[in-house]
Amino acid sequence: MKGVIEILTATLPDGTPIVLNETLQRERLRAWRLTEQFACPQCGERVLLKVGSVRIPHFSHVRDSTCSANFSEGESQPHLQGKQVLYSMFQRLNKLPVLEPFIPELAQRPDLLIEHDGQAVPIEFQCSRLPEEVKAGRTIGYQSIGMEPVWILHTPNKYRDLPEGLGVYSFTAFQQLFFSKDLTPECTLLTLSPETKQFHYFSHLLPIEGNRFIGIHRRLSISLQTFPFARPKLPDEQLIHSYFKFYKIHRTTHLERVLFLNRKGVQNSFLKACYELKMRPAELPTWIGVPVKYNGTFTVPDCEWQLELIYMLKRFGFPPSRVPIQRLRRFIHSYPGYKEDQLLACMEYLQFLQRINWKKKDFLSNERIELVILNLLSDRFLALQMEN
């Protein structure tokens, strides 16, 4: 059984389109609904204008409506409000927004459709969870007719009142579906809080373990937003040092607790490698546990997979410059994750070992190794802009 379908657009009996934007006052709408009748712009069924004191004004199909307009059912207040504030923003930017348009080729209805550089751009504001394959399917559908959609996530409640600046953030697998590299070299999560009319940027996200990232949180008022969206400011030298400090704190904390967190007993591959290499976890050198590119494809901390890679090199006598690719593929086989990126992460780490002259007489000091790591972070954050 269908629920009540709620929308922000309707038509008058003469076909005049009505859009419930932010400028319409509730008093005017309450008077309007006494004298006018409204219809769904697609199915033609009558819709009711709801003007309460809590929810934002909206049109509502009757329960069990037969409308197949692909509107969301029982839309949340943040979703309705988000569509409204985005509509107003794109009006300000002269992007000719259309609210809740129906695309017949796809039988699909984005939240908004705007025009940019002569191209139609679907805007999707996502407030509720949806399966990865559904999001991917919608995106492929738009792309099949020459449209590149923009997805915006509702700001997670726990981060809405968070102060700006550098911090450690956790994002669910669903939230990570909205990570993008369009704004910065490293992933950025762009979210919108319609309640406060602010965009929240979580930029230059550096993976440290599982769903945890070091990143920079910034707010931008919707009245100051542009399209294409404003790019976050690049981290300066001081911020890059702070990234490294946060990273080292996380690494040290993990290594101090790894024995207590061990649930695999003698089958723990990291602790076995520590034993074979005669290294104590809490005393690993700084060159094991390095934030190389593509490290986020491993679900375990960098110090674990990198120590096990060191163990593999010593076991088979490989120098970092000559490791057979098939041997690396066998090494990553036991780790969950995207294999090609894991392979690239291993290659990045092997290049790092070469840069510090690992296993050579002129092996770099700890101080110089830390400078190499800081350069790695600078490259991650700045390389793309330098190329552009």
Q: Kindly give, in sequence order, each residue whose CB lies less than 8 Å from that of residue 20, ignoring residues fewer than 6 positions away.
A: 8, 9, 29, 56, 57, 58, 59, 84
How far apart CA 162 and CA 168 sit, in angstroms, is: 12
In this prediction, residue 97 carries a pLDDT of: 94
* Better-scored residue on pLDDT, 285 or 57: 285
In this prediction, residue 68 carries a pLDDT of: 56
Tokens of 8: 């922000």
Q: Quote the pTM value.
A: 0.83
Q: How confident is the model at residue 57 (pLDDT cuts 50, 70, 90)?
A: confident
Q: How confident is the model at residue 387 (pLDDT cuts 50, 70, 90)?
A: very low
Average pLDDT over residues 191-209: 95
In this prediction, residue 43 carries a pLDDT of: 76
Q: Kindly give, in sequence order, each residue whose CB lies less than 8 Å from that of residue 302, ignoring residues fewer than 6 positions away.
A: 208, 251, 289, 290, 291, 292, 295
In this prediction, residue 162 carries a pLDDT of: 92
Taking alpha carbons only, the member of 57, 86, 76 closest to residue 198 is: 86
Q: What is the pLDDT of residues 266-291, one digit of tens each?
A: 678 899 999 999 999 999 999 999 99
**Parts of the chain belonging to CATH 3.40.1350.10:** 76-233
- pLDDT of residue 64 exceeding 80, the answer is no
Q: Is the dihedral of CA 322, 326, 332, 337 positive or negative?
A: positive
In this prediction, residue 284 carries a pLDDT of: 94
Least confident stretch, 31-40, 343-352, 353-362: 31-40
In the CATH scheme, what is the code of domain 76-233? 3.40.1350.10
Average pLDDT over residues 359-376: 92
Could you tell me if residue 27 is left (phi over 0), alpha (psi between -120 and 50 degrees) or otherwise beta?
A: alpha
In this prediction, residue 2 carries a pLDDT of: 45
How far apart CA 39 and CA 48 sit, in angstroms, is: 8
End-to-end C-alpha distance for the chain, whole angstroms: 52
CB burial readout 235-262, b (16+ within 10 A) else e = beeebbebbbebbeebbeebbeebeeee
- The CA dihedral of 71, 75, 78, 80, to the nearest 10 degrees, is 50
Q: How confident is the model at residue 350 (pLDDT cuts 50, 70, 90)?
A: very high
Q: How confident is the model at residue 263 (pLDDT cuts 50, 70, 90)?
A: low
How far apart CA 159 and CA 275 sit, in angstroms, is: 41
- pLDDT of residue 26 exceeding 50, the answer is yes
